[in-house]
Chain A
Amino acid sequence: MPPVLELENARISYFTRAGEMNVVPGVSFRLEQGEALGLVGESGCGKSTVAFAIMNYLSGVGRLTGGRILFEGRDMSRMTEEELRQIRGGRMAMVYQDPMSSLNPVMPVGRQLMEVPLIHQKASEAEARARALQMLGEVNLPDPESVFDRYPHQLSGGQQQRVVIAMALMAEPSLLLMDEPTTGLDVTVEAAVLDLVRRLRQKHNSSIVFISHNLGTVVRICDRIGVMYAGELVEEGPIGEVFRDPRHPYTRGLLNCIPVLGSSKTSAALAPIPGQVPSTLNRPAGCIFASRCTYVEQGRCTTQPIPTVTVPGSDHHRVQCVRFDELPLRQRPAAAVEAAQVKRDKEDVLTVDHLRKFYRQSPGIFAGGASYDVKALNDIDMSAKRGMTLAIVGESGCGKSTFAKVLTGIELATQGKVVLAGSDIGYTSVEKRPDSLKRKLQMVFQNPDSTLNPSHSVGYIVERALRRLKGVGGRQARAEARKLMDTVKLPVDFVARKPRQLSGGQKQRVAIARALAGDPDLVVADEPVSALDVSVQAAIINLLIELQATRDATLIFISHDLSVVRYLADRVAVMYLGKIVEFGEVDDVFLPPYHPYTESLLSAVPIPDPDLKQKRIILEGNLPSVRNIPAGCPFATRCPRKVGEICDTTPPPERRTPTGHRIACHIPLEDLNRVDPVISRAAE
C-alpha cells in the first residue's frame, strides 16, 4: 500500500516582479496511512507553502518547479482541474488558521457543511443535512440543531474551529492538512480542540500533517515531527527521538530557547539563536543554517550542499547536518539571574485596591433589551514591588488588557484605587497626567507592526521620546539615543531606518528603548513577545530581564503564555473574567495548591517535552455571556472541581498562605494542597 503522502525533493518557488523566489529548495518525506506528522518551524520557513503545494493551491504566483508530490500514489501536478476538485474536500481536506475568516460570513454554518456531501458523496439535501448534524455532534458542539442555522460570527473561536474540523472530516478524507489550527485560540480552548483532533484521528484513522510554530501542540497529536528552516527540512523523525536527542543544531537551538513550563530564570537561561533567517533570494552554497550555527566548521559546512542522512540505529530519524554525530551532549545553559531572595523586602511601587472598570454597552439595532454593564475589571486587588516582575496571566476576556489601559490612563477606573508612588492615578486620563508621572510609567505594546509610527525613523522615535520624557534636546538627545540603542542591543546605524526595514524583534527593541527614555519606575508590557518567533522571543525576554536588573524598574508583564510567565515572573496574578482568582510568588502559583482554573490552565499548556507527564483536564461548558456574569465564582460554569450551588451564588472567600499566596475558592486550602501537581516527570 503506497504511503498516503510522499514528497520527493519537492521544489517550490514564487514568481514575483523581483523574479523567481525559491522558497523551498527540496523537501522530502513520507506519510504512511494513519500517521500524524508535525511540521514545525518559525515564520517564513515554508511549512504553510508546503501544505498548499500538497493541495496544489499556490494561488497563481507559486508553482512546484521540481520534484514530485504524490498523494495515494498519484502525482498531484499531473492532475486535471476535475480530478483536483474531486480530491479536495473529499480525499484530502484542510483546516485553517483563522476559523472566523475561513468560513463564509453570510452563509449559515450548517449549509456550509452540507456542501461537502452534496459535492463529494452525491447525497440528497436531506442526507446532507443529516450528515452535517451528525458531524456537528461528533465535534462536541452542544445543540447541533441550533448551531446548524447560525452564522459564523455567532459562534466562539473554539466553536468555529470545530465547525471547520467537522467540514474537513465530512467526506472521511484519508489525509487531513492542518495549518496552525489552534494558533489564536485561548489555551484552554486549544487544549479542547487538540483533544478532539486526537480522538477523531483515532476513530477515523486519518493521516494528518499538522503544521505549527508551537512545538508543544505537535507533541500532543503527532507521532513524527519535521523541523523546517528557511524552506528546508533539517530534521525529521519520531517525536520522542527528536526531542530527546536532537541532532540538528537548529533543532537544538529551538529547544534551548523555549521556556519549558517548569523552568525559571533562576534555574536556566534561554539561549536565543543569534543572527537572522537568510533571505530566500540568496541561498548560501552550503548549509542553510551555517551563518547562525554554533558548531559550524568552515569548509565542511559552507561549501557544498548538505545531504540528508539517517541517524544510525534510529527509526527513520533523518538529519541534514554533516556534524550530526559530533555534537556535544545537550545541556541547558546556566541560570540567567540569581535567586531573587533579596527583593522580597523591597517596597511596593504599585498598589491596586478594589479596582473596578465597567463599560456601558447598548444592544445592537436588531436586538432588543436595555443597556448593560460589561464588567471588564471586577474588584481587583494586587501590588507590585520595586525591581520585580509581576505577571498577569489569563485568556481573552479576562481583563488583563483593560487593566493595562487603566494603569496607563487610556481608560479611567470606575471604582477603586490605583496608587503609584503615592498618588491615585486611576482617574487621571493619560492626557491630563503630569509629566513627572508620565516619565514614571511607560508601556511596551503587543504588536510590533503598530507600535512604531511607520513614517518616522528609528532615530526620530527614540530622540522624540527622550525630548519629551527626559527633557533633553539637540546633540545631547542624539548621544543619549545612541546609548539607549546600545542598551537594547540595536546597531547604532539603525537610526536612519524606518520601521518597515526592521524585523519584529528589532521593532520591539526600539519600542523598549522608547519606553526606557525617561527612566521609568514602572513598565507595563502588554504581550510584548506574543507576536514574535520563538528564537526572537528568547532574545527579548533576556533583554527584559537584564534591563530590569540593571535599572531596578518594576515590570508588569501581561501575557497568555504560561511558559514565558513561569520563566520570567517573580509574582503572578491569574485573572478570569475580571477577577483575580490566584495571586502569589511564581513558585507558589505553579505548584499546588492551585485554583481550579490555574490547574486547568496548566494542564492545557502545550509542552514541547514528550517526557513530561501532564494532567489532562478538559473544560466543559461555556463562558458565561457578558451580560450576566454569575453572582458567585466566575469560573463556576466550567469548573471541574465545582463544589455545588454555593459556587454559583456566593463569591468565594480568599484563602491565604503565610507567603502571601491568595486563592479565591470555596474549596478549603488543605484540600487544594492535596492535589497532585499538574506537571511531573514521567516514570523512567
Chain B
Amino acid sequence: MAAITMGKKQDGFLLRLLKRIALLRESPVGMIGAALVLFWILVAIFAPLLAPYDPNENYMDDYGNWGPSAAFWLGRDNQGRDILSRIIWGSRIVLTVGPIATFCAYVVGCTMGLLAGYYRGWVDVVVSRISDIILSFPVIILYLIIISQFGPSAFNIIVAVTFIASPQVSRIVRSLTLELRERDYVAAAKMRGESAVYIMLVEILPNARGPLIVDACLRMGYTTIAIGVLGFLGLGLPPPDPDWGGMVKDTYTMMSTDPHMSLFPCAAISSLVVGFNLLADGLREISLRD
C-alpha cells in the first residue's frame, strides 16, 4: 500500500477499548442497537431504584380497570401486579441468565471447535458427529425435552442453552480454525516448537475475534428469545418471578379485554433482541470495513 499509517505509542488497554467502541459511531445501525442494549442493561442494574412498585405485590384497588393509568404507567396484570415494575425486574433475569448461558456455550463451543479444527483427524470426526447429532434436533423440541425432563430453573436453562448452542458455536470456531491454521504464522509457530495449546489459544483464537464477537451478539439475541419462549410455554422460571415470557403466557388469553398486559412484555423482549441484532449487524459492517 502506498500510504502507511504512522504508528503511535501503544495506548493503554482501556483507551483502546473505548476507541473500539467509538468505532461504532460509523454505523448508525450499530449505534441504535448498542443504545437499546445499554438501555436494558442500565434498567437491570438500577432496577431497585427504577421500579415504582414491588413486582410481586397485588394491588387490587380499582378492580377490573387494569389498563395504564397515572398510578400504574403500564397498567396492571390480571393479578393486580404493576406491569412496569415486573418488566423492570424481569430484565434482570433475562440479562443474567442470558449472558451466563451464552458465555458457557462459548467456552464449550470454542474448545470443541478449536480442537476439531486444529487436530482434524479422528478428533474432528468425533466432535463433528456429536455436533451433528445435537444439531439435527429442532431447537425448540430439544428445549422442550430437556426442560420438561429436568425441571425449570435458572441452572437448567443455562445447561440447556449451553448444550444446544455450543455445537453451533463449535461449527463456526471449527471453520475459522481450519482456515487460520493454514496461515504462515502458524507454521512459523510450529517451527519454533510451540505447543498445540499455545498455538490454538495465542496464535489462532485472537484472530477469530471479529466473527466471534458478531456471533456472540446474535447468540445473545437467540438466547433471549429462547428464554422468552420457554417462559411463554410454561417452562420458564417458576412464578411469581417476573419472567417476561411468563408474563405473556399468563395474560394473553385476556387479549380481547386487556391487550396491554401481553403487549408490553412482548415489546420489551422484542426491543432487547432487536438491540442485539442491530448491534451485531453494526459490528459486522465495521469489521468488514477494516
A and B touch in the complex (CB under 8 A): yes
Q: Which residue in chain A gives the minimum CB-CB distance to B190? A: A430
Q: Which residues of A sit under 8 angstroms from B26, Cβ to Cβ?
A: 17
- Which of A501-518 touch B at CB < 8 Å? 501-503, 511, 514
Chain A contributes a number of interface residues (CB within 8 A of B) equal to 45
> Would you call A453 an interface residue if the criterion is a C-beta within 8 Å of the partner chain's C-beta atoms?
yes
Q: Is the CB–CB distance between A438 and B4 below 8 Å?
A: no
Q: Is the CB–CB distance between B3 and A455 below 8 Å?
A: no
CA distance A457 to B7 in the complex (A): 11
Q: Is the CB–CB distance between A443 and B4 below 8 Å?
A: no
> Would you call A258 an interface residue if the criterion is a C-beta within 8 Å of the partner chain's C-beta atoms?
no
Question: Contacts A445-B184, A453-B185, A496-B9 known; A408 to B207 CB distance under 8 Å?
Answer: no
Q: Is the CB–CB distance between B10 and A457 below 8 Å?
A: yes
Q: Is the CB–CB distance between A44 and B5 below 8 Å?
A: no
> Would you call B20 an interface residue if the criterion is a C-beta within 8 Å of the partner chain's C-beta atoms?
no
Nearest CB of B to A281, in Å:
7
> Would you call B1 an interface residue if the criterion is a C-beta within 8 Å of the partner chain's C-beta atoms?
yes
Q: Is the CB–CB distance between A452 and B185 below 8 Å?
A: yes
> Would you call B203 an interface residue if the criterion is a C-beta within 8 Å of the partner chain's C-beta atoms?
yes
CA distance A445 to B182 in the complex (A): 12
Q: State which of B191-199, B247-255, B261-269, B271-279 sits at the interface with chain A.
A: B191-199
Q: Which residues of B sit under 8 angstroms from A455, Cβ to Cβ?
A: 206-207, 209
CA distance A435 to B192 in the complex (A): 8
Q: Is the CB–CB distance between B9 and A450 below 8 Å?
A: no
Q: Which residues of A sit under 8 angstroms from B187, Cβ to Cβ?
A: 408, 410, 430, 443, 445
> Would you call A196 an interface residue if the criterion is a C-beta within 8 Å of the partner chain's C-beta atoms?
no
Q: Is the CB–CB distance between B190 and A431 below 8 Å?
A: yes
CA distance A370 to B206 in the complex (A): 41
> Would you call A538 an interface residue if the criterion is a C-beta within 8 Å of the partner chain's C-beta atoms?
no
Q: Is the CB–CB distance between B4 and A501 below 8 Å?
A: yes
Q: Which residue in chain A gives the minimum CB-CB distance to B26? A: A17
Nearest CB of A to B290, in Å:
9
Q: Which residue in chain A gives the minimum CB-CB distance to B9? A: A496
Q: Which residues of B sit under 8 angstroms from A278, Cβ to Cβ?
A: 2
> Would you call B133 an interface residue if the criterion is a C-beta within 8 Å of the partner chain's C-beta atoms?
no
Q: Is the CB–CB distance between A496 and B188 below 8 Å?
A: no
> Would you call B183 an interface residue if the criterion is a C-beta within 8 Å of the partner chain's C-beta atoms?
yes
B2, B183, B185: which contacts A280 (Cβ < 8 A)?
Answer: B2
Q: Is the CB–CB distance between A450 and B185 below 8 Å?
A: yes
Nearest CB of B to A601, in Å:
27
CA distance A450 to B186 in the complex (A): 9
Nearest CB of B to A428, in Å:
12
Nearest CB of B to A158, in Å:
26
Q: Which residues of A sit under 8 angstroms from B193, Cβ to Cβ?
A: 433, 435, 438, 468-469
CA distance A447 to B182 in the complex (A): 12
CA distance A409 to B9 in the complex (A): 38
Q: Which residues of A sit under 8 angstroms from B185, Cβ to Cβ?
A: 450-453
Q: Which residues of B sit under 8 angstroms from A274, Cβ to Cβ?
A: none
Nearest CB of A to B51, in Å:
42
Q: Is the CB–CB distance between A501 and B5 below 8 Å?
A: yes
Nearest CB of B to A548, in Å:
19
CA distance A494 to B9 in the complex (A): 9
CA distance A503 to B3 in the complex (A): 9
Q: Which residue in chain A gives the minimum CB-CB distance to B192? A: A468
Q: Is the CB–CB distance between B188 and A451 below 8 Å?
A: yes
Q: Which residues of A sit under 8 angstroms from B5, Cβ to Cβ?
A: 501
Question: Contacts A450-B183, A450-B184, A453-B207 known; A230 to B2 CB distance under 8 Å?
Answer: yes
Q: Is the CB–CB distance between B4 and A279 below 8 Å?
A: yes
> Would you call A356 an interface residue if the criterion is a C-beta within 8 Å of the partner chain's C-beta atoms?
no
> Would you call A45 an interface residue if the criterion is a C-beta within 8 Å of the partner chain's C-beta atoms?
yes
Q: Which of B1, B10, B189, B193 has the most CB of A within 10 A?
A: B193
Q: Is the CB–CB distance between B4 and A276 below 8 Å?
A: yes
CA distance A279 to B188 in the complex (A): 32
Q: Which residues of B sit under 8 angstroms from A279, Cβ to Cβ?
A: 2-4
> Would you call A265 an interface residue if the criterion is a C-beta within 8 Å of the partner chain's C-beta atoms?
no
Q: Which residue in chain B gives the minimum CB-CB distance to A465? A: B192
CA distance A469 to B159 in the complex (A): 44
> Would you call A68 an interface residue if the criterion is a C-beta within 8 Å of the partner chain's C-beta atoms?
no
Q: Is the CB–CB distance between A503 and B203 below 8 Å?
A: no
- Which of A267-295 touch B at CB < 8 Å? 276-281
Q: Is the CB–CB distance between B191 and A443 below 8 Å?
A: yes
Q: Which residue in chain B gives the minimum CB-CB distance to A446? A: B184
Question: Contacts A457-B10, A496-B7 known; A43 to B192 CB distance under 8 Å?
Answer: no
Q: Is the CB–CB distance between A43 and B1 below 8 Å?
A: yes
Q: Is the CB–CB distance between A447 and B192 below 8 Å?
A: no
Q: Mark A442-477, 1 if CB is under 8 A from B, else 0.
A: 110111001111110100000011001100000000
CA distance A278 to B2 in the complex (A): 7
CA distance A196 to B182 in the complex (A): 37
CA distance A277 to B203 in the complex (A): 31
CA distance A453 to B189 in the complex (A): 10
CA distance A443 to B186 in the complex (A): 12
Q: Which residues of A sit under 8 angstroms from B207, Cβ to Cβ?
A: 453-455
Q: Is the CB–CB distance between A464 and B192 below 8 Å?
A: yes
Question: Contacts A43-B1, A44-B1, A503-B4 known; A430 to B191 CB distance under 8 Å?
Answer: yes
Nearest CB of B to A602, in Å:
30
Q: Is the CB–CB distance between A438 and B191 below 8 Å?
A: yes
Q: Which residues of A sit under 8 angstroms from B188, Cβ to Cβ?
A: 443, 445, 451, 511, 514
Q: Mark B1-40, 1 if CB is under 8 A from A, else 0.
A: 1111111011000000000000000100000000000000
B1, B194, B203: which contacts A468 (Cβ < 8 A)?
Answer: B194
Q: Is the CB–CB distance between A45 and B206 below 8 Å?
A: no
Q: Which residues of A sit under 8 angstroms from B7, Cβ to Cβ?
A: 494, 496-498, 501
CA distance A43 to B193 in the complex (A): 36
CA distance A433 to B191 in the complex (A): 9
CA distance A447 to B192 in the complex (A): 19
Q: Which residues of B sit under 8 angstroms from A447, Cβ to Cβ?
A: 184
CA distance A237 to B60 in the complex (A): 95
Question: Contacts A408-B187, A430-B191 known; A45 to B203 CB distance under 8 Å?
Answer: no
A409, A441, A451: which contacts B184 (Cβ < 8 A)?
Answer: A451
A43, A435, A498: which contacts B2 (Cβ < 8 A)?
Answer: A43
Q: Is the CB–CB distance between B2 and A45 below 8 Å?
A: yes
Q: Mark B174-186, 1 if CB is under 8 A from A, else 0.
A: 0000000001110
Q: Which residues of A sit under 8 angstroms from B203, Cβ to Cβ?
A: 453
Q: Which residue in chain A gives the minimum CB-CB distance to B185? A: A453
Q: Which of B9, B187, B191, B206 has the most CB of A within 10 A?
A: B191
Nearest CB of B to A434, in Å:
9
Q: Mark B191-223, 1 if CB is under 8 A from A, else 0.
A: 111101000000100110100000000000000
CA distance A278 to B191 in the complex (A): 36
Q: Is the CB–CB distance between B190 and A410 below 8 Å?
A: yes
Q: Which of B3, B6, B192, B207 has the most CB of A within 10 A?
A: B192
- Which of A402-457 touch B at CB < 8 Å? 408-410, 430-431, 433, 435, 438, 441-443, 445-447, 450-455, 457
CA distance A446 to B188 in the complex (A): 12
CA distance A230 to B193 in the complex (A): 43
CA distance A454 to B210 in the complex (A): 12
CA distance A503 to B2 in the complex (A): 9
Nearest CB of B to A500, in Å:
8
Residues of B at under 8 Å CB distance from A? 1-7, 9-10, 26, 183-185, 187-194, 196, 203, 206-207, 209
5 A-B pairs with the lowest CB-CB distances in the bound complex, closest first: A44-B2, A279-B3, A455-B206, A445-B184, A468-B192
A44-B1, A279-B2, A511-B188 known; 6 new pairs, CB 8 Å cut-off, are A277-B3, A280-B3, A445-B184, A450-B183, A455-B209, A501-B7
Complex A-B: 23 CB contacts under 8 Å: A44-B2, A44-B3, A230-B2, A277-B2, A278-B2, A279-B2, A281-B3, A408-B191, A409-B191, A410-B190, A442-B191, A445-B187, A445-B188, A451-B185, A453-B185, A453-B207, A455-B207, A455-B209, A457-B10, A496-B7, A498-B7, A501-B4, A501-B5
Residues of A at under 8 Å CB distance from B? 17, 43-45, 230, 276-281, 408-410, 430-431, 433, 435, 438, 441-443, 445-447, 450-455, 457, 464-465, 468-469, 494, 496-498, 501-503, 511, 514
